[in-house]
Amino acid sequence: MDLEHLALYPFVSEASAEVESLNLSLERLLSSPAYRTARARGVERVSQALEGEIEKPSIVGDTQALSELLSYPFARMLVIAVDDQLFTKRYALAEAKAAHTLLKTESMEFLLEFGEEFGLSAEPQDFHFKLHFTDYIRFSSPLKEAAWKLTNRQLQAGRVWVKKEEFARLLLEAIRERVEKSLSGEGTPSSSDLPAEVLEFCAPYAVELKEKFEVRKKQFGITDFGDVEPELFPPCISHALASVRAGINLAHSMRFAMTSFLLTIGMSTDDVLALFNVSPDFDAEKTLYQIEHIAGSSGTPYKPPACETMRTYGNCIGKNGLCERINHPLSYYQKKLYFKNKDKEEREAAKNEVGEKGETEKEALGKKNMGKKGEAGRVEGTEGTE
């Protein structure tokens, strides 16, 4: 590839080799006035990723091409410094989408060579691409639309036929996977692994990017709950799960509420599907379609309904103490997670006190709790004298 193409597709191995050949130190990339434009573009591309897609510039000349190329490693440093899994996923998808926009305009010859870079070998045939069905399955598996199912494709002698734009779409998935794994896969550096001077330089940008991302999460309901913990579910969801496992059909509104809740807190579509396979009217294909639709296969993922809506449809089975203080099933789960994590931290602190003072864990926790009660008593006594 020429320098312009390397700048536009900076995640290919040839682009990495080009950057290495420059013998550019981290210190120069971070501080030299000569690379101010590259740093500014790096910040811009990460900021644009938060909005959905990175805008690729029209490159004129080698100087601009080099700045665009070097903006990518700096952008990667920023993403690692932010140190947020959802942030990383969003950035990887944005890089892939930006490349996909360009790939749709490239020649078939270029796409064939580009595909080889990602292990997606194909043969041109009458304005189509033919690729081995195993490669097709690997790269199309994240695509849930019916048109991508192998049974709906033209298959001949173990080869699947795809159009040029479809081949570019498969490459989007390959790029997204590579970028994401290079930032958060096994053996990749975390923020704590970055050199001190890089962390120090990136810190102000990382703080600003984190703040922007938190705003985006609140706007679109993006949440990273970590591992799913069923024992923390609100009563309505626990009751629905128990009913499903007992083979009892749920009302459509409760099916939607439970499915959207589970998907939002991080359960996969396959895991949700497995929950329904004991239902008396279980239809795997139809159920998977409904789950994927709620997950956002047609656009935006659906949010679970609030408590007021649950009550309107008769899906609230009765409030407990925590339910009285929240207005959404997700808020209930978040509160429970908070309490559990706080309790864990206190227990770990108590264990540390055991090591330092020779107290038992029970004694340390007892003192901590007595302190809380005394503090509460002093507050209550103050209020009583006013």
Residue 146's identity, in one-letter code, is A
Residue range 290-319, pLDDT digits in tens: 999 999 887 788 999 999 999 999 999 888
φ, ψ at 45 (rounded to 5°):
-70, -35
Reported as a pLDDT band with limits 50, 70 and 90, residue 169 is very high
CA angle 264, 292, 53 (to 5 degrees): 75
pLDDT of residue 385: 30
Residue 281 has pLDDT above 70, yes or no: no
- Average pLDDT for residues 252-278, to the nearest whole number? 88
pLDDT of residue 376: 36
pLDDT of residue 227: 66
pLDDT of residue 356: 58
Rounded-to-integer distance, Cα 269 and Cα 291, Å: 6
374-to-39, 75, 128, 344, 367 alpha-carbon distances in Å:
54, 51, 76, 22, 10
pTM value is 0.61
- Average pLDDT for residues 234-261, to the nearest whole number? 86
More confident residue, 43 or 368: 43
What is the b/e burial string over 368-385, where b = at least 16 CB atoms within 10 angstroms of the residue's CB?
A: eeeeeeeeeeeeeeeeee
Residue 381 has pLDDT above 50, yes or no: no
**Which two tokens mark 260?**
């959207």
Rounded-to-integer distance, Cα 15 and Cα 171, Å: 17
In contact, 355 and 349? CB cutoff 8 Å = no
